[in-house]
Amino acid sequence: MADAIKPPSRNEILKTESPSLAGTIAATLDDVGAEKFSEDDNQFLKFHGIYQQDDRDKRRTGREYSVMVRTRQTGGVVPPEQYLVYDALATKLANGTLRLTTRQTFQFHGVVKGGLRKLIHSINESLSTTIATCGDVNRNVTAPPAPVGTTVHESLVADAFAVTRALIPVATSYHQIWIDGEKLEQDLSDLIAAAKSAGENPYPIPQGNPGPDGTVVDPLYGKTYLPRKFKIGFAVPPQNDTDIFTNDLGFVAVVENGALAGYNLLAGGGLGSTHGNTETFPRLASVIGFIPRDKVVEAAKAVLTLHRDFGDRTNRRHARLKYVLEEKGVEWFTQEVETRLGFSFAPARPAPFTFQGDQFGWHDQLDGKKYLTLFVETGRIKDVPGHALKTALREVVAQFHPYLYLTPSQNIILGDIDPGQREAVTELFKKHGVGVNENLSRTRGAGMACPALPTCGLALTEAERVFPKVIDEIEVLLAETGLASEEISVRMTGCPNGCARPYMGEIGFIGRAPNKYNLMLGGNHTSTRLNQVYRENVKLEDFATELRPVLARYKSERLVGEHFGDFAERVLLRERAAEIAVAG
């Protein structure tokens, strides 16, 4: 076995030596002269939901350190009072923006060390947490966000919360460092009191029992946690808004006689890869079988502990569950999970997907209320001249108290709005220059880009900052070719890690080097197929030249009803494969 001959990775040694995950974080926080955390503490910080970063635009003149903090929002659910706390925290203690993520959470960027305790304490006080939103543990659990009000949806969201709670690690050090004894910001205390009035924190953090040596070891994760991150999603066909096949573990709702009968369990999805390293690759999850609804938490624990026990602890680039499935096979995996569960899977039941992304604009809930799905370009909530989205959202939430639901496509839903308030909400957005999606092209609405530069330490090139302009150009091309009303999903990342799930886009741009991207084609509109490389190392200024003929051919050669990604797969990628074969 690989583990027997290769040494464990540095992260494994760190976890073994300090299973409390405390490192020297508290001491560095107390040391006002320390400008940054140590490299080892960086690894521990991730388990607390924190990444140390530096502003990469400023590297020429030295390093300017700050941190990124990620919250937990199962299924993207955000009570209005909590949103108002986050809005204030972003202004007071971060860079003034809130970033909606592709896994339905918020990220605060640009948090300085001196404000970190207050920020995390306040997030916990407002009934959320940052625990385990990063690190070798179960991350934020995704679920369809639209508050449609069906019993199926409500049951599914309840299951997503149950799974979340069952997999939150014991974290004594989290309490000690961030929660105990910190004084509240005086000017936030009213907002926090309002958030607390909403009830219990849905993310209780277990304290655990110390062993004979005084150490608390997590009963589920053990001393060394997982070999790598672990991601769970839920989906309700026919909409695949959570990109369910990209998760380590997916639960696809099976609805029978109008009720949630159970789930088809999928396992072994994941997208991250490294350019030039064939040991790493994106993989779609395999369909394992059906489980009844009441087994969902047990099933999640069984798959998670299988990853714990069989994932590669010697090589972090090869440590995700997808490689266990790929190398040991679906049959082995199924038997191993069944042994852990003590029962067998039933065959997966039919549950097809027919579409993927968000449905923008106003919609009806079953209880007579309305919800509004609002486009947020690249997920960044901020104020810019003529488009004060952050202010608009704050005022709408303060005045109308909608529940908020973050979507896995970096957008936001405002739910539970009285029909009589619809016009007033629309007007308040308009007052701040925010349209309610009237002039949004379908292709822009379906786009996603990761943060990349200047915050992400792994970025090879730009994504979020250039993406609106890339979409501007694609819109022009679509208009030129008579395709303006088409929806083509376009996704861009600054490196091959896949944070905006670019491998699922009908068009994907994956950063390779400064201003160079692999142009990927052939994902489908249900997000159930990986795309493939069409051209390598395309410069930003050459995108239009590459895409113009491709779109023109789509317009003239497509079959009736054929989506762009399907055309690309049927025609363009085959031609490309033939060209490569001829070239030898």
Residues near ligand SRM (CB under 6 A) are: 51, 68, 70, 101-103, 105, 107, 133, 139-140, 231, 246, 270-272, 320, 379, 410, 450-451, 455-458, 497-501
DSSP codes of every residue in 185-212:
PGGGHHHHHHHHTT-S-SSPPP---B-T
Residue 272, CB-side half-sphere exposure with 13 Å CA sphere: 17
Spatial contact of 371 and 146, defined as CB atoms under 8 Å apart = yes
Rounded-to-integer distance, Cα 495 and Cα 559, Å: 34
Q: Considering only CA atoms, which of 297, 220, 283, 202 is closest in space to residue 251?
A: 297
Kindly state the tokens that stand for 413.
């839903």
Residue 241, CB-side half-sphere exposure with 13 Å CA sphere: 23
Query: Smallest gap, in angstroms, from Cβ of residue 533 to ligand SF4?
Result: 16
260 binds, among ligand SRM, ligand SF4, none (CB under 5 to 8 A by kind): none
Spatial contact of 175 and 227, defined as CB atoms under 8 Å apart = no
320 binds, among ligand SRM, ligand SF4, none (CB under 5 to 8 A by kind): ligand SRM
70 binds, among ligand SRM, ligand SF4, none (CB under 5 to 8 A by kind): ligand SRM
Query: Smallest gap, in angstroms, from Cβ of residue 493 to ligand SF4?
Result: 4
Q: What residues have CB less than 8 Å from 32, skipping those under 6 apart? A: 114
CB-nearer residue toward ligand SRM: 81 or 464: 464
Query: Smallest gap, in angstroms, from Cβ of residue 163 to ligand SF4?
Result: 25
169 binds, among ligand SF4, ligand SRM, none (CB under 5 to 8 A by kind): none
Residues annotated as catalytic are 70, 139, 229, 231, 450, 456, 495, 499
Cβ atoms < 10 Å from Cβ of 11: 21
Query: Smallest gap, in angstroms, from Cβ of residue 366 to ligand SRM?
Result: 28
CB-nearer residue toward ligand SF4: 240 or 497: 497
494 binds, among ligand SF4, ligand SRM, none (CB under 5 to 8 A by kind): ligand SF4
Query: Smallest gap, in angstroms, from Cβ of residue 373 to ligand SF4?
Result: 24
Q: At 373, which amino acid appears?
A: T
Question: What is the phi/psi pair of residue 442, to 5°?
Answer: -65, -35
Question: What is the phi/psi pair of residue 52, to 5°?
Answer: -80, 135
* CB burial readout 248-266, b (16+ within 10 A) else e: bbbbbbbbeeeebebbbbb
Query: Smallest gap, in angstroms, from Cβ of residue 499 to ligand SRM?
Result: 3
Q: What residues have CB less than 8 Å from 370, skipping those under 6 apart? A: 362, 363, 364, 417, 418, 419, 422
CB-nearer residue toward ligand SF4: 272 or 289: 272
572 binds, among ligand SF4, ligand SRM, none (CB under 5 to 8 A by kind): none
Rounded-to-integer distance, Cα 476 and Cα 480, Å: 6
CB-nearer residue toward ligand SF4: 134 or 168: 134
Query: Smallest gap, in angstroms, from Cβ of residue 2 to ligand SRM?
Result: 17
CB-nearer residue toward ligand SRM: 23 or 272: 272
Cβ atoms < 10 Å from Cβ of 403: 19
CB-nearer residue toward ligand SRM: 11 or 172: 11
Q: What residues have CB less than 8 Å from 546, skipping those under 6 apart? A: 519, 535, 538
The footprint of ligand SF4 (CB under 6 A) covers 450-452, 456, 458-459, 463, 493-495, 497-499
CB-nearer residue toward ligand SF4: 42 or 493: 493
